[in-house]
């Protein structure tokens, strides 16, 4: 099956980039605590780090994306770059998808920059 001229939505966190490990570093700065104070094992919404509401999560996420270049500074998942490049070389067009990007054009824009800078 040809992917030429197909538009493929690409998930960023946990698929293309190591979202939570970078977010943990940023959250340590946000909360003014050591990295070791924040568990590496988290779930959506980050209640393990003391996040109590969606509003609080959105505030941290917005800071991470706009002030600390979350997606541009996250490490790529091994193999992701190669397969994204293969899809691109076969003519596919890709758009970044991140849960919060659907709510935030800022996040969506950064996701596109992440993909274009990473290929």
Token pair of 39 as six digits: 């568990």
37 is a catalytic site residue:
no
List 13, 37, 54, 117, catalytic entry: 13
Task: For residue 94, report the phi and psi dihedrals to the nearest 5 degrees.
Answer: -120, 145
Residue 76's CB is within 10 A of a number of other CB atoms, namely 14
Taking phi over 0 as left and psi of -120 to 50 as alpha, with beta for the rest, 94 belongs to beta
69 is a catalytic site residue:
no
Handedness of CA 71, 114, 89, 82 (dihedral sign): negative
The residue behind tokens 């994204």 is 84
Query: Could you tell me which of 38, 45, 30 has the C-alpha nearest to residue 99?
Result: 45
Q: Show which residues are catalytic.
A: 11, 13
């Amino acid at each position: 099956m040809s992917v030429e001229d197909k538009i493929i939505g690409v998930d960023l966190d946990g698929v293309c980039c190591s979202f939570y490990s970078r977010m943990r570093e940023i959250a340590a700065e946000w909360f003014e605590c050591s990295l070791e104070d924040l568990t590496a094992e988290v779930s959506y919404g980050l209640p393990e780090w003391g996040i109590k509401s969606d509003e609080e999560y959105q505030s941290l996420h917005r800071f991470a994306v706009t002030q600390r270049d979350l997606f541009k500074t996250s490490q790529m998942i091994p193999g992701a770059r190669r397969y994204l490049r293969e899809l691109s070389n076969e003519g596919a067009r890709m758009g970044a998808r991140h849960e919060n990007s659907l709510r935030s054009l800022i996040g969506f824009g950064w996701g596109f920059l992440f993909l274009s800078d990473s290929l």
